[in-house]
């Protein structure tokens, strides 16, 4: 079904389309000034026609509102990070989002590539074996190691696949997601009590979940904040910016 913006809605198959409201919501993701109209459009012929008339007035060159696709696809590029006293983290995501309107306009499948870099410093207090010996009047401990700091620099490549849910379709949108990601991990570890530098390389599968909120700045840009929990990596709080565009599908 193609719904032309100049058409009158008199086809009862269109009026009875259970996915029609989802299609209006998907359209409103690209056009913020249509959010109010999309949210207030009731499931009847008069309100749907009013929405089309408004679209006709706002976008005279926009030829049609919808083509009957089962899904809509977006490209998301986001840069997120955080810097604290003992932890710095930066993450670049390049993800494809598929919204399945037959299921929900708020549910999407995301997949793509995530590149991240982190630097973390941790303090390790002295650890001794518990064995002692007496040297004259002096009692000494035999240390495994003394107080020191360890710094880890890690570069991580992940291929995440996740289910993402947006709780609203508005300027401020809370969201959550859960997923899995094959992960390739490169790390160097140095310590203040030694000149030795260790190198670690690991391949594993990481599971993760996150809760966040995003604020729409323009038709194609959001700022966002999220708390992400990992099974493998340390959980962290991230701030960032997201750019997205609709792909032909």
Q: How much is the pLDDT for 177?
A: 97
Dihedral angle at the C-alpha atoms of 52, 56, 59, 63, nearest 10 degrees? 80
Q: How much is the pLDDT for 5?
A: 38
121-131: buried (b, 16+ CB within 10 Å) or exposed (e) per residue? eeeeeeeeeee
C-alpha angle with apex 206: 205 to 212, nearest 5 degrees?
Answer: 155
- What is the rounded CA–CA span in Å between residue 214 and residue 68? 29
The phi and psi torsions of 182 (rounded to 5 degrees) equal: -60, 140
Q: Which CATH class is domain 71-123+149-247?
A: mainly beta
Domain with CATH 2.40.160.20 in the chain: 71-123+149-247
Q: Rounded to two decimals, what is the model's pTM?
A: 0.67
* Assigned token pair, 195: 């000149």
237 strand-pairing partners? 227
* Assigned token pair, 212: 């966040």
Q: What is the pLDDT along the chain (249 residues), one digit of tens a residue?
A: 334 333 333 444 444 454 555 666 565 566 666 666 666 666 555 666 666 666 665 554 444 444 445 667 889 999 999 888 788 899 999 999 998 766 777 889 999 999 999 998 888 887 766 655 555 555 666 667 778 888 989 999 999 999 999 988 778 889 999 999 999 989 999 888 888 888 999 999 999 999 999 998 887 899 999 999 988 777 889 999 999 888 875
Nearest to 231 by CA among 214, 210, 206: 206
């Amino acid at each position: 079904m193609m719904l032309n913006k100049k058409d009158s809605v008199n086809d009862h198959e269109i009026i009875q389309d259970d996915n029609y409201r989802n299609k209006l919501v998907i359209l409103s993701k690209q056009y913020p000034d249509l959010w109010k109209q999309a949210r207030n459009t009731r499931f009847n012929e008069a309100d749907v026609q009013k929405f089309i008339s408004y679209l006709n007035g706002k976008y005279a060159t926009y030829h049609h509102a919808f083509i009957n696709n089962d899904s809509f696809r977006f490209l998301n590029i986001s840069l997120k990070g955080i810097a604290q006293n003992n932890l710095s983290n930066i993450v670049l995501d390049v993800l494809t989002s598929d919204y399945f309107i037959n299921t929900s306009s708020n549910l999407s499948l995301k997949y793509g590539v995530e590149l991240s870099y982190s630097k973390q410093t941790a303090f390790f207090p002295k650890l001794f074996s518990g064995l002692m010996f007496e040297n004259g009047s002096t009692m000494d401990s035999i240390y495994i190691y003394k107080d020191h700091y360890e710094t880890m620099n890690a570069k991580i490549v992940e291929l995440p696949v996740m289910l993402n849910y947006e709780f609203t379709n508005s300027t401020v949108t809370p969201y959550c997601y859960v997923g899995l990601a094959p992960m390739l991990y490169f790390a160097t570890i140095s310590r203040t009590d030694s000149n030795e530098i260790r190198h670690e390389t690991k391949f594993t599968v990481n599971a993760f979940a996150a809760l966040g909120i995003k604020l729409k700045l323009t038709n194609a840009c959001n700022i966002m904040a999220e708390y992400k929990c990992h099974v493998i990596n340390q959980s962290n709080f991230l701030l960032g910016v997201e750019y997205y565009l609709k792909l032909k599908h």
